[in-house]
Every structure is written in C-alpha cells, then in structure tokens.
Amino acid sequence: MVRMATVGSVVGGLMTSWLAPKAIAWYFKPPVEMPVNCTIPIEWALHKLQLAQLFGTIGGGVLFLLLSLMFFKGKGENLPETLQ
C-alpha cells in the first residue's frame, strides 16, 4: 500500500511537472494581438524549467541509487522488510 502511494505520488509529480507549464503558457496567451507579447519568453522559460526538473529527477535518482548500493551492499539485515 505504501509502495502504491509512493508510485502515485511520483507519477502525479511527473504529470504536474509536464502539464503545468503548458497550462501556464496557455493561460497567459493574450486573446487579441498586442504590441507586447510575452508568450514566447514564457514558453521558453517554462521549457527550461521542465528540462531542469527532468535532469534533476534523473540525477537525483541515479545519485541515490548509487548511494544506496554503496551503503547497503551486503547489509540486507538493515533494510526494511519490503526492500529485502
């Protein structure tokens, strides 16, 4: 049950990180053409935010995987029962 909640939280976070910038860019798009249009800079900045989140997620996952392999290698008795 805890594992499913964790998976659900991760999937929800990933979906939010992927969909929220598109929704923000859509929300700030002016309904009529204006002399000053910020849509393109907003889309650019939100795309960079998505890339930073993606690389941070992948980097953090790899880092913590390596740390867990370094510190818990051969120490199965110290791990919670669900991870053994």
Q: How do residues 23-59 score in pLDDT, each as one tens digit?
A: 887 777 777 777 877 778 888 888 888 888 888 888 8
Q: How far is CA 46 from CA 10, 17, 40, 54, 60, in A?
A: 20, 10, 10, 12, 21
Is 61 among the domain residues? Answer: yes
Domain total in the chain: 1
Is 64 among the domain residues? Answer: yes
Report the pLDDT value the prediction gives residue 56, as an integer from 0 to 100: 82
Is 57 among the domain residues? Answer: yes
Is 84 among the domain residues? Answer: no
Report the pLDDT value the prediction gives residue 8, as an integer from 0 to 100: 80
State which residues form the domain around 46: 2-75
- State the distance between the two ends of the chain, measured CA to CA, in whole angstroms: 17
Is 83 among the domain residues? Answer: no
* pLDDT, tens digit (0-9, with 9 covering 90-100), for 54-77: 888 888 778 877 877 787 776 555
Residue carrying the six token digits 């989140």: 53
Is 82 among the domain residues? Answer: no
Is 14 among the domain residues? Answer: yes
DSSP 28: T
d(CA 58, CA 52): 10
Q: How confident is the model at residue 80 (pLDDT cuts 50, 70, 90)?
A: low
Question: At 45, is the secondary structure helix, strand, or coil?
Answer: helix
